[in-house]
Chains A and B, each alone.
Chain A
Amino acid sequence: MKKGLLLAVTLLLVLTLSACLGGGGREETTVDIPDALPNEPIEIVIWHAFGEDNQALLQEMFDSFNEEYPQVTITQLGQGGYDGLRESTIQSIVAGTTPTIVFGYPDHFVEYLNGNALVPLDEYINHDVHGVDLDDFVDGFLAENQQYLDGNQYSMPFAKSTEMVVYNKDFFDAQGVELSRTTPLTWDEVEALADTMVGNGENQCDFMFNADSSSNFFINSSRQWDAGYTDGEGNILVDNADTRDMLNYFNGLFDEGIMSFPIEWDENYGSEPFKDGLVCMSQGSTAGTRYNIPDEESPFNEMGIVPVIQRDLDNASVMQQGPNVAVISDADNNQRLAAWLLLKHMTNTENTADFAMATGYVPVRKSGFETAEYQEFLSIVDKYDDEGLEGLSPSERLDLPFAMAATVAFAQVDWYQYDPAFVGRVTSSGARQEAGLAFEAIYAGTRTVEEAIERMLNQLGQ
């Protein structure tokens, strides 16, 4: 009898808790934009994955926003890395404790859209009073944020970066090779350079080239080879002759010791091997420029930066990356408007230029590249070309790597591409991961090109 009672009470508790499973679903997000922000306290919470330095830069933007809208209280909270940010946001959507603004990638945003958790921004963008001119945004950055299958725009570009190639300038100078910051090298040219630059001698490296991200390298090379990768529907398009051709080509470079990935040195990035002079050129994000600057122990003093290597300059392609921003739908209409106005403020011409100069990211607006301050920042590179390091002031020397990265990023602006975000049993982030693993397995010699493609397709349920 007692046991029965205990069982019944326990079952009741369990069933009551289980009712939490079925939330009844979230309704489609409707947009109703107030004409003006009311003069009453409005709270905005922002979740991102930035460290202390970038948080301080954001705070400056919030402070200037508060000068115009003192009624808005803004709180920013770092959520660790981007995986942590995504996980926290998903849990907050389930628990109903969401922030107002969330940073992230379209991969993340399409997941949040499964919970109708994002506000479509189109009506804000086109609003007579609060709208913004999208024509001023860099096309490639904008396209990434306009890719959602229902045709709405759910996010805005904020801290964007692109891939670039740092090179050991001292070694190249010693070989009498001068590289251009605006015209990319082709793979044929890199192979030719490797003939003299790879080796154990003076001013030579163990490897000619390293790519930090094997995933990015797979995706971008697929574009350069006109091979498929994925589409917005989640189809994996790598089972074709062009992909095989591309992978076989790089497999040849692996065998010749021309090309490497950071796993060669048990590293996540190639910056340390680059600084140690083990690899002559390293492809990575412009946002990671600072990590490649040679230090006291480096066997060289100066690094240079050039655009991403291309197969064919008529079919150039470059990865763009870096987080975008979206507004969460749990916010009320005033919070949403305040959030939108803040996004506008954070991405205005001055702020996007200032943020870019301080971080190594690139401006998201074309006008950001054209501000006097930004042009002056870029002019450090010209001064360096004319007068060398000796001609630069100490602060200009510190800014030089970032100015070079910015120059290269601008030179590549027409080649920015993004990979489609999708979410189903197979996700775009899963496809990215498998693409990178396929390349690394070929590099390590644990799989042939054919086996790597087959495994990638199997892993992605194709």
Chain B
Amino acid sequence: MLEDKSNVKAWFYLAPALFLLTIFIFYPIFNALFLVFLRDYNYLQGTWEGFTLFENFLYVFRNQNFTQALTNTMIITFVSVPISVIIALLISVWLNSVLKLRGFFQTIFFLPYVTNAIAIGMAFAFLFNQNYGLINTMLGWVGLNPVNWVGLGATWGNAMFSLLVYVVWASLAFKIMVFLSGLQNIDKQYYDAARVDSTKRYRIFRRITIPLLSPMIFYITITSFIGAFKAYTQVIGMFGVRLGPPGNDKSLITIVALVYDALDRSGVPGALSEAAATAIVLFLITLVFTLINMQVSKNRVHYSGGGK
């Protein structure tokens, strides 16, 4: 009886959240799923020409930019995530060991997180400018010729490298913050004991820090992979709506950009279904890699012992 009463109360408290989740999360997801199976859905009229299983997916796969978008998305994900996780981890460990000015450095490293992604992208485009960018100036100091990173007719490789530098840099802040909070929760006794045994720093890092931080590393890796699969803002920030250097437009197109490209044709019958199908394809890709990630991490994540 008492349990029933508290259950009713719980549902009552949950109701606003459930209501909002239904409208803003469940309904759009269901809608996207529904749209995928409509043939020539006319958004302006709310009508469609029957149902189809695969037609909208075929439009996605036949899209001339799909292979390029998939390639770019995969490269952004599988290059930027491991690199940024490792760099963030090293910076966090260093920050955790710094005694003086720690607050100052923490603020510096956290700044990108509270800065607009488009603004940062524009700043990086400036840094990589062929004629007056800092990167080429620095290359000049060591006697190297300037490189056309993001300018007129820049190659895909140069543009992708510039983008990856930006993506890694911009994604460090949140990771550092999470790792740092994880490091500060590791019981100092483990380190004291290691020090008593004169254990080498690298061994302490491998045997104590990494295992006790593994839940955080796992969490950050999974969410970073999911975030990287959705890369779009970074490309817009650095290259604008061209999605590539001038004269090499769309060379850095991503899967999310394909979704927006289809949505941009919302007045055209079938375009919304194509956008929905692209989103579902991205969801499935993300799901598969997340499951693989979870499976691989299963025996490597150490959940007990962190904190007191």
Contact = CB atoms under 8 A, between A and B. Distances in A.
B281 to A, nearest CB: 18
Interface stretch (B25-33, B78-86, B216-224, B283-291): B25-33
Interface in A406-447: 423-425, 427, 430, 437, 440-441, 443-446
A424 B42 CA distance: 11
B45 A25 contact: yes
Which of A23, A90, A266 gathers most chain B CB within 10 Å? A266
Nearest to B250: A437
Nearest to B269: A114
Nearest to B38: A21
Interface string A296-308: 0000000000000
Contacts of B41: 21
Interface size range on A against B? 35 or more
Which of B44, B46, B248 gathers most chain A CB within 10 Å? B44
Interface in A249-285: 263-264, 266
Contacts of A455: 64
A115 interface: yes
A21 B246 contact: no
B266 to A, nearest CB: 6
Given A18-B27, A26-B45, A114-B268, A446 B248 contact: yes
Contact of A445 (B30, B47, B247): B247
A112 B27 contact: no
B270 A23 contact: no
A111 interface: yes
A440 B247 contact: yes
A424 B246 contact: no
A117 interface: yes
Contacts of A2: 7
Contacts of A112: 44, 267
A24 interface: yes
Given A25-B45, A263-B247, A444-B247, A17 B152 contact: no
A459 interface: yes
Contacts of B265: 427, 430
Interface in B93-107: none
B246 A114 contact: no
Contacts of B237: none
Contact of B30 (A18, A425, A461): A18
Contacts of B249: 437, 440-441
Interface residues of B, number: 37
Interface string A350-363: 00000000000000
B248 A14 contact: no
Given A90-B266, A111-B268, A446 B247 contact: yes
A443 B269 CA distance: 35
Contacts of B42: 25, 114-115
B148 to A, nearest CB: 10
A213 interface: no
Nearest to A444: B247
Interface in B1-58: 7, 18-19, 22-23, 26-27, 30-31, 34-35, 41-48
Contact of A444 (B7, B47, B152): B152
A10 B45 contact: no
B121 interface: no
A444 B268 contact: no
A21 B151 contact: no
B235 to A, nearest CB: 16
A14 B30 CA distance: 7
Nearest to B268: A423
B153 A444 contact: yes
A177 interface: no
B246 A23 contact: no
A94 interface: yes
Contacts of A458: 64
A93 B45 CA distance: 9
B152 A266 contact: yes
A21 B44 contact: no
Interface of B: 7, 18-19, 22-23, 26-27, 30-31, 34-35, 41-48, 59, 62, 64-65, 151-153, 246-250, 265-270
23 contacts: A10-B22, A10-B26, A13-B26, A17-B31, A21-B34, A25-B45, A25-B47, A93-B44, A94-B43, A94-B44, A112-B267, A114-B42, A114-B45, A115-B42, A115-B267, A263-B247, A424-B268, A440-B247, A441-B247, A441-B248, A444-B152, A446-B153, A461-B64
Closest 4 CB pairs of A and B: A444-B247, A23-B46, A115-B44, A111-B267
Given A10-B26, A21-B46, A446-B248, 19 more contacts: A10-B22, A17-B22, A21-B41, A23-B45, A24-B47, A25-B46, A87-B266, A111-B267, A114-B45, A115-B45, A115-B267, A116-B45, A427-B268, A444-B152, A445-B153, A445-B247, A446-B153, A461-B62, A461-B64
